[in-house]
Structure 1
Amino acid sequence: METFELRISPIKTGEINIENYDEAKAYIMDKVETYKNAYYSEDQKGLAKDDRARLNKLKKAISDMRITKKKEYLEPFNDFEEKMKELAGLTDEALEQIDSQVKAFDEKRKAEKQKAIEELFSQIGFQNFVTLEKIQDPKWLNASTSMKSIEDQMKSKMYEIGNGVLTLSQLPEFGFEATEVFKETLDINKAISEAKRMSEIAKAKAEAEARRKAAEEARKAAEEARRKAEEERKAQERAAMAQAMTPPEDAQPAPVEESQPEPQKMVVKFEVELTTDDAAALREFFQSRNITFRAIK
């Protein structure tokens, strides 16, 4: 195999020294000690601003020098890095060409294996509601997964599905609905949860219906009680009215003076709505006028 070595010259470690580091540090520490213990009155606000500006200027000068020297120090490396990236990039076009072919080979292999998996699935004898899409593991298309392993997994899955259907068919209620969910999802836990959910709904519905019937019966009973009470009240009123309108047995017509001829009387039938007190008052009026009256039945 052909080899090629990229030769890189030895790295020469650069040095950047602060020639008067100790002097600079002593100067800055002296300023820091002076200013950190300084206290300003409100009248010295302008002086405080000036001192702050001087310290900021010193800090900025140090920072600017650091950035400048870092750029100078890294300049050789930046040039080296750009050249290395350029060399690496030269391989991209060839890599893409080879990679596309490798992927094509892999896709062809997967397509052939997928066809073999489909043929195997048709031979296993799965239940008619089971499709390959529902059970296939993406790892089956890996080159490292053998067809024998796939066959074993298919058979195991088929037995598992059969046991699931049997389990759901023995549920005390909603077994059919749970089985339908299982056929769709092949998830027995989800199927059992669905059966439980439907059972709870049915129970809640039955309880609600029982409460509705009880409320309806109570309403009808109360209505019947009100109706009977109303009929009793009306019967009592009619009895009291009849009693009030019935003249006493010992009532005698008022004597009529002989000198006056008895006026001609007529029979008038009428119906009025009265209270018991009104009926008693009417009876007294009739008696005072010597009017014969009787209740109409």
Structure 2
Amino acid sequence: MDYKSMTVAQLTAEAKARGVNVYKGMKKADIIALLEKEEPLEVDAEVIEEDEQDLSVHTLPGQISANFDALEAHVDSILKDYEGWQPSADSAEDVRACADARKYLNGLAKQIDERRKAVKNEYLRPLNAFEGRSNAIRDKIKSAVARIQAVEKEADEARKREKENALREHYQEVAGLLADVVPYEAIADPKWLNKSPHVENCKKELEDRCRKVAKDWDALKAQDLGDFGEQAELRFFQSLDLGEAIAWAHKLAEDKKRLDAMKSELSSYQQEDEPQPCDYQPAEAVSAPQPVAAPVPVQPAPIPVPQPAQVTVEPSMGWQIANELESFEPALQSKVLEAVRLAKATPANAPVPCVMVIDSATTEQMQAVGKLCGLVGVTGVFKRGTLAEVCQRTYGMGAING
């Protein structure tokens, strides 16, 4: 086609018909350069039915040619006009010229990119069709494989259930009393249900595990764990770990020892007088008066005997505090015990004014802190707000700045 004999309008129409964007104000030579590109060659993938059992593919080699040399020379000639141009950001006219140049050059780049994408899509079209057809045929095979595999899976599940039932029955036979406190799941190994280990080998391993658990159980009962023997056994049956069970019993013993010591110290620190039982003794019954002569002797009513007063003995304040502390964590119990010890200690230095800065606290928490402060002889008052806010309310802004 003779593009040079065509007008700009005709060239623009031809470009639009081919899907090539032409921008307003584009030169005729630029439009001709875009239209002079050769059409790409299509690549066909043909499946030849030579062997029905195999996928035979005959591919025609693809080839793409374009007028890259002419296009690159044309682009270089355009860019050469901008090499010596040095627009100024202080000039409004230069800024507008930069905007026009940017739009023009971006338009050229977009045309090349869109043409490249069109060629790529056209080139990949036969490949996509080939992959779609081959994948559809492959999926038919995979569907049949899935149906067959479902049957295999069902058979394997039945095999596992049969093997597991045999091992469970054997466990009930060899475990004895152990089966009542240790479930089969705690002894079993999931690998036993695989195909490779024979059921007889699994039974032998099961017997070895039962013997080890029974041996550890006997060793645990031989330990002198005092009042915490049952708790240690419960721990052992949960973990089947002898060392962990013994360590757990020792921990419980240490916790009890620490709590008993705290109770004893609190009781000696704040001991109240215990109410004494009443020493009241009932008076002797008064002798009845001699009856007067009468047709019918009259017996006087007996004088009621006073009963001893019922006295309710309240527990000491120390024991009440100790019982409340039983619900605390051991770490908190230790902190309370240390605070009580410090409260009993004689101050080494003379008291001086101090300020306690608390990040945040509820009313109940402040009340508790106040009582603990009173326990060690510290007096004062709580004021809400930050240190700066309290100073401002109490002494004014000048106090803060000073």
Q: TM-score range by the shorter chain?
A: 0.5 to 0.7
Structure-2 residue corresponding to 1:83: 133
Q: 1:27 to 1:132 in 2, by over 3 A?
A: same
Once the two structures are overlaid, the 10-residue window that deviates more, 23-32 or 83-92, is: 23-32
Question: Structure 2 CA distance, aligned partners of 1:213 and 1:130?
Answer: 44
Q: 1:28 to 1:180 in 2, by over 3 A?
A: farther
- What CA RMSD, in Å, does the superposition of the two structures yield over aligned residues? 3.5
Q: How does 1:222-233 map to 2 (within 5 A)?
A: none
Q: 1:204 to 1:93 in 2, by over 3 A?
A: same
Matched residue type, 1:74: L
| 1:40–1:48 CA contact under 8 A, matched in 2 | no
Deviation for aligned residue 1:214: 4.2
* Among 212, 218, 230, the residue aligned to 2:266: 212
Deviation for aligned residue 1:87: 0.7
Question: Structure 2 CA distance, aligned partners of 1:22 and 1:197?
Answer: 89
Structure-2 residue corresponding to 1:181: 235
* Among 198, 207, 213, the residue aligned to 1:161: 213
Question: Structure 1 CA distance, aligned partners of 2:69 and 2:266?
Answer: 94
Deviation for aligned residue 1:202: 2.5
| 2:236–2:245 CA contact under 8 A, matched in 1 | yes
Question: Structure 1 CA distance, aligned partners of 2:109 and 2:253?
Answer: 76
* Among 127, 130, 144, the residue aligned to 1:94: 144
Matched residue type, 2:202: I
* Among 61, 64, 69, the residue aligned to 1:16: 64
Q: 1:217 to 1:50 in 2, by over 3 A?
A: farther
**Runs of at least 5 residues in structure 2 that lack an aligned partner in the other structure:** 1-50, 274-316, 318-402
Give the secondary structure class of the aligned counterpart of 1:97: helix
**Structure 2 length-normalised TM:** 0.46
* Among 160, 171, 190, the residue aligned to 1:110: 160
Question: Structure 2 CA distance, aligned partners of 1:53 and 1:197?
Answer: 80
What is the CA deviation profile of residues 203-243 of structure 1, one whole-angstrom value per residue up to 9, with x for unaligned ones?
A: 442343244224315999xxxxxxxxxxxxxxxxxxxxxxx
| 1:181–1:194 CA contact under 8 A, matched in 2 | yes
| 1:178–1:195 CA contact under 8 A, matched in 2 | yes
Question: Structure 2 CA distance, aligned partners of 1:24 and 1:149?
Answer: 78
Structure-2 residue corresponding to 1:273: none
Q: Which has the higher contact order (CA 8 A, sep 6+)?
A: 1
Deviation for aligned residue 1:97: 3.0
Structure-1 residue corresponding to 2:172: 122
Question: Structure 2 CA distance, aligned partners of 1:36 and 1:160?
Answer: 92
Question: Structure 1 CA distance, aligned partners of 2:270 and 2:166?
Answer: 67
Deviation for aligned residue 1:9: 2.3
Question: Structure 1 CA distance, aligned partners of 2:138 and 2:265?
Answer: 80
Q: How much identity, in percent, do the aligned residues show? A: 24
Q: 1:152 to 1:52 in 2, by over 3 A?
A: farther
Give the secondary structure class of the aligned counterpart of 1:109: helix
Give the secondary structure class of the aligned counterpart of 2:58: coil
Deviation for aligned residue 1:134: 1.5
| 1:182–1:191 CA contact under 8 A, matched in 2 | yes
Count, aligned residues: 218
What is the CA deviation profile of residues 256-286 of structure 1, one whole-angstrom value per residue up to 9, with x for unaligned ones?
A: xxxxxxxxxxxxxxxxxxxxxxxxxxxxxxx
Question: Structure 1 CA distance, aligned partners of 2:80 and 2:210?
Answer: 81
**Structure 1 length-normalised TM:** 0.60
Question: Structure 1 CA distance, aligned partners of 2:84 and 2:218?
Answer: 84
Matched residue type, 1:154: L
Matched residue type, 1:176: E
Deviation for aligned residue 1:36: 11
Matched residue type, 2:185: E
Question: Structure 2 CA distance, aligned partners of 1:158 and 1:140?
Answer: 15
Once the two structures are overlaid, the 10-residue window that deviates more, 120-129 or 30-39, is: 30-39
Give the secondary structure class of the aligned counterpart of 1:74: helix
Q: 1:83 to 1:32 in 2, by over 3 A?
A: farther
Q: How does 1:2-151 map to 2 (within 5 A)?
A: 5-21=53-69, 23-24=71-72, 27=75, 31=79, 34=82, 40-42=88-90, 43=92, 44-126=94-176, 127=178, 128-151=180-203
Deviation for aligned residue 1:103: 2.0
Question: Structure 2 CA distance, aligned partners of 1:213 and 1:33?
Answer: 101
Question: Structure 2 CA distance, aligned partners of 1:36 and 1:187?
Answer: 85
What is the CA deviation profile of residues 124-152 of structure 1, one whole-angstrom value per residue up to 9, with x for unaligned ones?
A: 22513122122222221111111232123
Q: 1:111 to 1:52 in 2, by over 3 A?
A: same
